[in-house]
Amino acid sequence: MVKDLYKQKRSLELKWQLEYEQEGKYTLDMVRIDNAIREVINEIKLEESKIANRQNAIENAAASKTCTNKNGPWS
């Protein structure tokens, strides 16, 4: 999912660059592309945050299980 978002972002960046090269100035289409890029960046941040939270939960669960097994469940 994150890789697809990065590909989408790159595609929008290339579209922006092409628009600039064709028009030679900042256009309304480029504003729309900028907004779309911002949305994709927000989606990327959200997905990466979800991945980091899952990884932290896994690490915390593994650490908790290690402590419980080592010291006993009532220690």
Q: What is the pLDDT of residue 61?
A: 84
Q: Give 18-34 as a 3 state SS string.
A: HHHHHHCCCCHHHHHHH
Q: What is the pLDDT of residue 68?
A: 56
Domain residue limits, the chain:
2-67
* pLDDT score of 5 more than 80: yes
Q: Please say whether the beta carbons of 34 and 13 come within 8 A.
A: no
According to DSSP, residue 51 is labeled: H
Q: Which of 38, 48, 35, 36 is CA-nearest to residue 1?
A: 48
Residues found in the chain: 75
Segment 15-72, tens digit of pLDDT? 999 999 999 999 999 999 999 999 999 999 999 999 999 999 888 887 777 655 555 5
Q: Which pTM does this prediction carry?
A: 0.76
Q: What is the pLDDT of residue 12?
A: 97
Return d(Cα 4, Cα 40) in angstroms, integer: 10
